[in-house]
Amino acid sequence: MGRLLSILVPLYNEEEYLPAVLQRVLNAPLPEQLDREIIIVDDGSLDASPLIAQEWAARYPDFIRFVQHKRNMGKGAAIVTALEHARGDYGIIQDADLEYDPRDYPKLLKPLLEGQADAVYGSRFAVAGERRVLYFWHSFANKILTGLCNIAADLNLTDVETCYKAFRMALVKSIPLRSARFGIEPELTLKLAQRQAAIYEVPISYHGRTYDEGKKVGLKDAFEAVWTILRFWISRDIYKESGGEILDAFAFTPRFNRWMADTIRPYLGQTVLEIGAGMGNLSRHIAPGRRRYVATDIDPEHLARLQNRLQHRPNLTVCRCDLTNPADFEHIEPVESVVCLNVLEHVHDALQAVRNIYSVLRPGGRALILVPEGQEIYGELDRVLGHYKRYSKAELRSLLESAGFQVPRILEFNRIARPGWWLNGKILKRRSISRLQLTIYDRLVWLWRRVDPFLPWKPTSIIVVAERPRT
């Protein structure tokens, strides 16, 4: 079995059109090695739509699943329910009417399957196929909403309100979606942009309906969309897990990331393996100028994001590598340097992890390993991030030497942040870091870099510079 496409069908009072839609979806061409599942969510229909959907699910049990809301909750709520039941690698939203043509699926899926996009929008206004000419004011309102959403998201889409949105399922499932009705369209767009997703747009055919023929979007929904744009423009509600929010927050601290990169850069060779590259915050700073750079992670979502964000660098490759699995290192060509920042504290078997790092280094190569310092300040932030422990210098040196490394130096890094980490995580037991705090901190990195060596307390992190002996 190949990869799976989940086709999400929100349904409300479409008894006339549903059979034809489902037949077209079942017959729609798909790229090779891509199978389909159809998830129909009836949103409290008052006509025969649920009975028809149940009949089709019974007729095609290998392809169609049916879920029912007891009452009408809105298109957004139906899509959220469909996402909860979806098992696919990719998803696409399909309205239960005849306005959109499933024969456009290959066009929508192409950028996803080629690893270029995280989401693809089917635009009704970037015309390359048939489009029924309908209401001016409806089109005008759509353009206003698209413009507002583009301003808030810093995008240049032509059709935010399109039904046809295809996406990587893991990405969208990790985003909390709050809009129960048609506000789901701008909400999803804004949150994809805030997650720095790679969004593509392709032209599609469109056969719009009149209100007499069953069109449901009205003026009330336009006002709701404006409110949704304002609401999620101000807030940043883009992760279901607190740990993801913290990592995302650090993606917007470019000065801090540059400080970290500058600290380890003097010890790097021309071929580098980065373990736990995450979202690529550090990779973007130290990959340029290297002869070969391998960015790795174990999280599929991080790997996909790395691929999309860094695909323009010809010297860089992305692959999966588990720090604790020796087999993953057997397929990596030896390198001059291994960078492992904020990863070792996440693993139980730290000795096996550093042995794996040792195995992939050339003789004379260096490992740059950053860990949080000081178990005495271990707190709620560490638990949220999945830290098993914080290390002392003596513990880290002993660990590396046990694996065969020589340890000529251990660097102290970021003393300035230690009191804040202790206060937020240990005393106040907060599970997230204030973006305002981080923004202020990042703006003042130029100052912290100058005063940090002179502060009288321990650092937030330590960086070991470990060398594999030449003989």
Which is more confident, 438 or 6? 6
Q: Residue range 247-264: average pLDDT?
A: 87
Locate 53 and state its tokens.
């959907």
Which is more confident, 186 or 127? 186
Residue 120's pLDDT band (boundaries 50, 70, 90)?
Answer: very high
| Domain that includes residue 370, residue range | 243-467
Could you tell me if 162 and 117 lie in one domain? yes
Residue with tokens 């009975």: 51
Which is more confident, 109 or 302? 109
Q: Judge contact between 317 and 297, C-beta under 8 A.
A: no
Instruction: Write the CATH number for 228.
Output: 3.90.550.10
Give the chain's radius of gyration (CA, Å). 26
pLDDT tens-digit profile of 334-346?
A: 999 999 999 999 9
Could you tell me if 144 and 207 lie in one domain? yes
pLDDT tens-digit profile of 358-413?
A: 999 999 999 999 999 999 999 999 998 889 999 999 999 999 999 999 999 999 99
Could you tell me if 84 and 231 lie in one domain? yes
Could you tell me if 183 and 290 lie in one domain? no
Last residue of a domain, one of 194, 220, 237: 237
This prediction has a pTM of: 0.79
Which is more confident, 337 or 135? 337
Q: Residue range 121-142: average pLDDT?
A: 71
Of the chain, the percentage scoring pLDDT greater than 90 comes to 75
Locate 213 and state its tokens.
């023929």
200: closest CA among 132, 254, 123? 123
Could you tell me if 332 and 219 lie in one domain? no
Residue 141's pLDDT band (boundaries 50, 70, 90)?
Answer: confident
pLDDT of 218 higher than 80: no
Q: Judge contact between 169 and 88, C-beta under 8 A.
A: yes
Q: Residue range 192-214: average pLDDT?
A: 81
pLDDT of 134 higher than 60: no
Could you tell me if 121 and 97 lie in one domain? yes
pLDDT of 307 higher than 90: no
pLDDT of 130 higher than 80: no
Total tally of structural domains belonging to the chain: 2
Residue 22's pLDDT band (boundaries 50, 70, 90)?
Answer: very high
Instruction: Write the CATH number for 350.
Output: 3.40.50.150
Could you tell me if 219 and 349 lie in one domain? no
Could you tell me if 288 and 365 lie in one domain? yes
Last residue of a domain, one of 187, 205, 237: 237
Q: Output the CA–CA distances (angstroms, integers) from residue 122 to 165, 200, 428, in the order listed.
A: 6, 9, 46
pLDDT of 8 higher than 90: yes
pLDDT tens-digit profile of 59-102?
A: 999 999 999 999 999 999 999 999 999 999 999 999 998 899 99
Last residue of a domain, one of 237, 265, 286: 237
78: closest CA among 177, 206, 153? 177
Could you tell me if 305 and 201 lie in one domain? no
pLDDT of residue 247: 66
Q: CA–CA separation, 31 vs 447, rounded Å?
A: 54
- Phi first, then psi: give them for residue 350, nearest 5 degrees: -65, -35
Could you tell me if 267 and 218 lie in one domain? no
pLDDT tens-digit profile of 160-187?
A: 999 999 999 999 999 999 999 989 999 9
Could you tell me if 340 and 460 lie in one domain? yes
Walk across the sheet containing 271-275 and list its strands: 316-320, 292-297, 271-275, 335-341, 361-372, 461-467, 406-413
Residue 322's pLDDT band (boundaries 50, 70, 90)?
Answer: very high
Q: CA–CA separation, 161 vs 185, rounded Å?
A: 6
Residue 221's pLDDT band (boundaries 50, 70, 90)?
Answer: confident
pLDDT of residue 132: 59
Q: Residue range 185-197: average pLDDT?
A: 93
Mean pLDDT for the chain overall: 91
Could you tell me if 37 and 155 lie in one domain? yes
pLDDT of residue 139: 72
